[in-house]
Structure 1
Amino acid sequence: MDNVLVAGGAGYIGSHACKAVSNAGFTPVCFDNLSTGWEDAVKFGPFEQGDLLDRARIDEVIAKHKPIAIMHFAALSQVGESMDDPGLYWRTNVLGSLNLIEAAVDAHINKFIFSSTCATYGDQDNVVLDEDSVQQPINAYGASKRAVENILYDFERRFGLRHVIFRYFNVAGADPEGEVGEFHQPETHLIPLMLDAIDGKRDALTIYGTDYETPDGTCVRDYVHVCDLVDAHLLGMQWLTDGRPSAVFNLGTGSGFSVRDVVDHSKSVTNKEVPIIEGARRAGDCTQLVSGSSKAEAELGWKPTRSNLKSMIGDAWRWHQTGHYSK
């Protein structure tokens, strides 16, 4: 059975990717330093603890498992933190990725799937973003991901490293079977914060800004179910296996949900009220961020079948009630 190296495979998206890789008939080799991931989430293949800043450790793991492809999810991803400590993000996200990319080239691995972000587009409000939209990141997180994309372009030109880049928006939901789920410390994502408020684990959910130019006054964001997201990564690996050229794909639904949409739908799923505090706008929050994904659907054959609020909140709620990790 062929191995696939999943960098960041103990994290939220990476652990779901490991399950999908396993279900597709490959062995996922999880490479993670556990700084934000959880060893409890490593259930579908071998675990190799290590840091992407340690090139020798990367080489050791690649030599041991001889993966046919690499999926790269490992990164720091908090926008506010990236503004406070940009050096941490450039060092971790860019230098770590460079180590992994160079290791792939040296080991003659020619399939590299990279987890990028809509943050590379910067502050482009109230437009549907596609792969040709101008990239002008406004924080160190988005800039570091954009830099890794540039590295991949350069390494393809020089070494022929074929790659697929996925830029995606708000990821939500959990494995419907409950084997892995979303659990961050600290938590910053809307749906788990909302479920914490329902459960009494926090006093209330704060809605930051209720006077935006949207139908209900709250920000609109594009949400993608994590299982739909990782399905795209498998399609990306198949794309490269079939000899297709390197490519970039946005992953979104082409429409968005407001904060109040999410809260209102949660009531029908959980049968519980969400305690709410209405707060002021946060600096840097856009009114609406929505991604076009027509290219992924047309060329990859990707279909985001679970990316609706009922599925995303319902799957997250089941996980929230039963599944948490511990160090």
Structure 2
Amino acid sequence: MILVVGGAGYIGSHTVKELVDSTEVVVLDNLSTGHCWAIDENAIFVKGDLGKEEDLEKVFSTYSIDAVIHFAANSLVGESVVDPWKYYENNVVATLTLLKVMMKHDVKNFIFSSTAAIYGIPEDTFLTEQSLTKPINPYGYSKLMVEQILEDFSQAYGLRYIVLRYFNAAGAHESTSIGESHDPETHLIPIILQHLLGKREKISVFGKDYDTPDGTCIRDYIHVTDLAHAHILSLNALLMGKKQMATYNLGNGTGYTIKEVIETCEIVTGRQATIEYVERRAGDPAQLIASSEKIYQELGWKAKIKLPAIIESAWNWHKRNN
């Protein structure tokens, strides 16, 4: 049985939807940012808090857990700057509580949801797992701290873990039953689609003078179902004893400018966007593209869904849930 912490959230719910086809799944979520409607009906749902040891004890005492997939984190970069306490408490301290209970119940297989934010402003065009990690905000630091904790726990207590560092998750499940729903929404593709549905007056683009083909930032977008499959492959590698510890980047390996993303959304939807160019945001690098060669070589994973199909899946979900 697999415990998915944060399984009512965006990436967590998509992973649960793929997992329930082959194994029993328990979802633990406090629904602070997740949604009941996103939890697959075939999963067992327990409402509880990652940072409360008694909530975790209840789960580990009730169910026979073989592995844990950890999605439950606060992830807004701007919020982490103005409220770092919240991020270090939930992303670091609460994770330590989870690991403590896992060790007590002899559960030693762990998949951790990390982020490209640990790289900060990169020096490399294509980021590999060996690229310099130098976060520029508390969110990135909180994730990097957990990565170090996992390495220490592996050496001291025999924890088996895989860290997945992903870039820009996007898209929705092909059934349109679940998709991306944040409040507030900060991700580019849903913001564009909300605008094209008439929910936003315009799209604000931060900077048009970067050293890129059209002056706007370049980012790497990956479909959320591709991410889910990477988690399942990683989980199987741990359970089958193929891996003791590993870290992988997850991305498409292809960068798109903000302008290209907007234009693709216009083509998919057949609607015209109103764009406002504003000042750059502090700390925004010109380009972030992932090399996922390592996980391809070791586990055979490669992103399959490209940008037009990513946007089409998101558009289908937004239209249904407008």
Return the TM-score normalized by structure 1.
0.96
Match of 1:40 in 2: 37
Match of 1:304 in 2: 303
Q: Give per-residue Cα distances to partners, 1:101-139, cap 9 Å, x unaligned.
A: 111111111210000011111111552111111211111
Which amino acid in the other structure matches residue 164 of structure 1? I
Match of 1:30 in 2: 27
Match of 2:97 in 1: 99
**C-alpha contact 2:124 2:131 (8 A) present in aligned 1:** no
Query: How many Å apart are 1:64 and its aligned residue?
Result: 1.0
Match of 2:285 in 1: 286
Count of aligned positions = 320
Q: Secondary structure at the match of 2:95?
A: helix
Which amino acid in the other structure matches residue 39 of structure 1? C
Question: Which residue among 310, 315, 318 is the counterpart of 1:317?
Answer: 315
Q: Give per-residue Cα distances to partners, 1:71-106, cap 9 Å, x unaligned.
A: 000000000100101111000100111111111111
CA distance in 2, matches of 1:72, 1:274: 37
**C-alpha contact 1:180 1:323 (8 A) present in aligned 2:** no
**C-alpha contact 1:178 1:318 (8 A) present in aligned 2:** yes
Q: Which has the higher mean CA deviation after the structures are superposed, 183-192 or 35-44? A: 35-44
Q: Which has the higher mean CA deviation after the structures are superposed, 125-134 or 173-182? A: 125-134
Q: Secondary structure at the match of 1:124?
A: coil
Match of 1:156 in 2: 154
Match of 2:73 in 1: 75
Query: How many Å apart are 1:245 and its aligned residue?
Result: 2.2
Match of 1:136 in 2: 134
Q: Give per-residue Cα distances to partners, 1:238-273, cap 9 Å, x unaligned.
A: 111121221000101222111011011112211111
CA distance in 1, matches of 2:302, 2:125: 22
**C-alpha contact 1:125 1:289 (8 A) present in aligned 2:** no
Query: How many Å apart are 1:220 and its aligned residue?
Result: 0.2
Q: Which has the higher mean CA deviation after the structures are superposed, 227-236 or 118-127? A: 118-127
Match of 1:61 in 2: 59
Which amino acid in the other structure matches residue 112 of structure 1? F
Q: Give per-residue Cα distances to partners, 1:208-252, cap 9 Å, x unaligned.
A: 111111001100001111000110000001111121221000101
Question: Which residue among 202, 220, 223 is the counterpart of 1:222?
Answer: 220
Residues 1:271 and 2:270 aligned together: yes
Q: Which has the higher mean CA deviation after the structures are superposed, 126-135 or 29-38? A: 126-135
Which amino acid in the other structure matches residue 145 of structure 2? A
Q: Secondary structure at the match of 1:222?
A: strand
Query: How many Å apart are 1:323 and its aligned residue?
Result: 3.1
Q: Secondary structure at the match of 2:20?
A: helix
Which ranges in structure 1 are unaligned for 5 or more consecutive residues? none
**C-alpha contact 1:168 1:252 (8 A) present in aligned 2:** yes
Match of 1:232 in 2: 230
Given the superposition, is the C-alpha separation of residues 125 and 198 from structure 1 closer, same or farther in structure 2, using an over 3 Å criterion?
Answer: farther
Query: How many Å apart are 1:40 and its aligned residue?
Result: 1.2
Q: Secondary structure at the match of 1:247?
A: strand
Return the TM-score normalized by structure 2.
0.97
CA distance in 2, matches of 1:134, 1:64: 42
Which amino acid in the other structure matches residue 147 of structure 1? M
Q: Give per-residue Cα distances to partners, 1:15-62, cap 9 Å, x unaligned.
A: 001001112x11221111111111111123111111111011111111
Query: How many Å apart are 1:154 and its aligned residue?
Result: 1.1
CA distance in 1, matches of 2:139, 2:117: 7
**C-alpha contact 2:136 2:283 (8 A) present in aligned 1:** no
- What's the % identity of the aligned pairs? 44
Runs of 4+ in 1 over 4 A off after TM superposition: none
